[in-house]
Amino acid sequence: MPVKRFFVSIILGVVFVLLCIGSAAAKEEYAKKTGKGCIFCHEEKTGGGLKTAGIAYIKNGYQYPIPLFIMEKAAKVQSAFHKSLRFIIGYLHILAAFILVGAIFYIHIFIKPSQITGGIPKGERILGLSCLFTLMVTGIYLTWFRIDRFGHFFDIQFGRVLFIKILLFILMLLFALTAVTFIHRQMGKESKAAVAKSDPGEITFEDLKNFDGSSENPAYVVHDKKIYDVSGSAKWKNGRHFGKHSAGTDLTEALKGAPHGPEVLEKVKFVGQMQDTQKEPEKMSKTRKLFVFMAYSNMVIILLIIFCIGVWRWGFNIILETPSGEALAAKNCIDCHKKLNPGIYADWEKSIHAGVGADCYKCHKATESLSNAASKAHLKHSSLLITSFVSPATCSECHPKQVAEYANSKHANTLEIIWKVDKWLQHGMNNDVERNSGCYVCHGTVVDVKEGKPVEGSWPNVGVGRKNPDGSLGSCTSCHTRHRFSVAEARKPEACGQCHLGPDHPQIEIYNESKHGAIYNAEAGEWNWTTDDGTWKAGRDFRSPTCSACHMSAALGVSKTHDVTERLSWELQAPSTVRPSDFKAFPAKTDWMNERAKMIMVCRQCHSEEWANSHFKNLDNVISNYESNYYKPAAKIMDDLYGRDLLSKNSYFDEALEWEFYELWHHEGRRARMGSAMMAPDYAWWHGFYELKHRFNKLKEASEEALKKRKVYVYKDFPGKEGKD
């Protein structure tokens, strides 16, 4: 029955739509290759709406890593308007495909193209062209949305398959336009001629198909071998009855399941009795042969398009590629270092890099910017250039956002900062050996290269502000130590404690003394240090914050960041406490009030708003106390001595009073301020203000002695002073 056939066509169309649902590239294999779970692109672990990263992944042609400029473009199309527009357009695209494919399957399976003689019915023509137009318009938008540049059509798997699919659609569109114009008219003319030759009293079943109501032909139907003309009935417009029955057919069986009987045919014109004689079948005209060819070609095109969708969904590689020279070289690197450096290999094997296929060569290949720091691979059969330096520029190929944020931080620029702030470097009161073994281990060296090899003293170094040969700043391995590159390791305070310790910035000691540190040391083994969704949340994953939780991790309304200095409202390392934007050595481009608001939101994950606000008011009071009672009076004393020429401005640390003043702000002053900021009372008082009182009184006593004697002792034989300024 036509009704059953209609529902079968619907089922076939639904199968097609189900093939279209979901992205073929976003599947388990993707997660294994990149180490990114569904939550990286989607709002939920089980899928759902796309985040900015998901949009960027599509815009990058279903390729990872995602360049920063594509991430920025993706962020622009995440507005509510664009999301709604994409949903509507995507829905229309699937709906049009569903209707078109269902109609094509119906014609081929139940009607047969060879049975259509008088041209394509008007309703089918309008429906088909409407679906094709909708697919074309929505497809153009969706292609623009997925493909960022023309090259993506050829250099990636998704682009190649999409390009083939577009060509197939264009071919189907050309066939359809030809069929509904030239071929339709020709078939109509041929049908009219056949009807004109037919004698109503001698119509056979072979002739009946010409009387289908198309091309102004009469609409005949048969019941119990009796022919009726339904052309004048309003219920048989264009030879169709409520979209279920067609003229030119025998309705004897169909009427048995109809809501009415054959009595309705008494209201239309009786033509005659159907003849049982069989005529010799007419030869199919060239026009009809072309129509049948195009109809079956369209069916083949539909099947090929479904194949393309299958390629996306199940990851069949349409191009068989042989391993490249780089891939072979990388394998040789792994095989060799597995024997020579088992520790390196073990770390890499357990890292996320190994899981996503980031091998030795992918990180150590010499880019154009590192060509001066490259040497030939130490494999005799390889001419590939490699480099010892893995800089943030290399890491940015997969982690563009993190590298961009880090480049804005004080960490990345600390080498510049200490030369502007620290008197030890400004006035050359130490030498290269002392700087390389002390200052530069944490702050970073300026890596110098000669003949592809690092110059002694500038390497090895993984300082946070290292200046690399490619112009980038810093070293990601400062926190994510090679070759494990563990996120969990960087989330723990010990990672920061490598550098943030000692008399001048004892953050790790301060943290361990605080309530936060006490909870961490007692319970950290129970916390979840690695999460599937890439976020690290208070309450769910940890109970007490670490350095990274406060300065890097996300909170309500606060985005995660690799700029660890972003949320600061005071510059506590400076001699005189200033707002970050007023720090002359490295002025921040942020508003301290906005940054404090962010930090308060971080605190409010575990504390009340009143508690958080009160804490920062206490910090402000501590800074005011330090400035008014210690730093400014001490600075005034020093300025007075310099003004009276009792202290020399030529060199620093060659007089005892300069040591006293330096340690007043650099040691005790920092400890008092930082101890208060991080809630460590012992450092705020006993190692802070208590010691400040001693230091200030000592400085004041020495200055009064100098004023009386009009002379200050100068250290003439200063040890280790031969270093360059």
pLDDT tens for each residue of 428-477: 678 888 888 889 999 999 998 887 778 888 889 999 999 998 889 999 99
Residue for token pair 């450092």? 683
What is the Cα–Cα distance from 61 to 145, expressed in whole angstroms? 10
Other CB atoms within 10 A of residue 205 CB: 15
Least confident of 84-93, 274-283, 483-492: 274-283
User: Are the C-beta atoms of 421 and 415 separated by less than 8 Å?
Assistant: no
Q: Model confidence over 300-330: pLDDT tens digits?
A: 998 898 888 887 767 665 555 555 566 777 7
Mean pLDDT value of segment 684-696: 97
Q: Which pLDDT belongs to residue 198? A: 63
pLDDT-derived band at 45, boundaries 50, 70, 90 = low
Q: For 362, phi and psi rounded to 5 degrees? A: -60, -35
Residue 647, phi then psi, degrees to nearest 5: -115, 140
Q: What CATH architecture is 503-709? A: Up-down Bundle (1.20)
pLDDT class of 21 with cuts at 50, 70, 90? very low
Residue 641 or 84, more confident: 641
Rounded Cα distance, 250 and 205, in Å? 8
Of residues 159, 135, 98, 93, the one with CA closest to residue 312: 159
- For residue 282, pLDDT over 90 is answered with no
Question: Is 3.10.120.10 the CATH number for 204-273?
Answer: yes
In the chain, what are the domain boundaries? 2-192, 204-273, 325-478, 503-709
**What average pLDDT does the structure give for the chain?**
83
Question: In which residue are the tokens 């009071």 written?
Answer: 621
pTM of the model: 0.66
Pairing state between β 245-246 and 249-250: unpaired
Mean pLDDT is lowest, of 593-597, 638-642, 645-649, for 645-649
How confident is the model over 326-343, as a mean pLDDT?
Answer: 84
Q: Which residue has the higher pLDDT, 201 or 496?
A: 496
Lowest mean pLDDT among 246-255, 573-582, 644-653: 246-255
Instruction: Quote the pLDDT of residue 118.
Output: 62
Comparing 577 with 271, the larger pLDDT belongs to 577
CA distance 21 to 227: 48
The per-residue pLDDT for 632 is: 98
Instruction: Please give the residue that has the higher pLDDT: either 42 or 574.
Output: 574
Q: How confident is the model at residue 587 (pLDDT cuts 50, 70, 90)?
A: very high
The dihedral built from the CA positions of residue 296, 301, 306 and 311, taken in this order, carries a sign that is positive
Residue 707, pLDDT > 80, answer: yes
Burial class (CB in 10 A: 0-12, 13-18, 19+), 536: buried
Q: What is the C-alpha separation between 694 and 669, in angstroms, rounded?
A: 12
Cβ–Cβ under 8 Å, residues 231 and 192: no
Run of H or E including 189: helix 184-197
CA atoms within 13 A on the CB side of 128: 23
Same topology, domains 204-273 and 503-709? Answer is no
DSSP 8-state class, residue 708:
H
For the chain, count helices (H), then strands (E): 33, 12
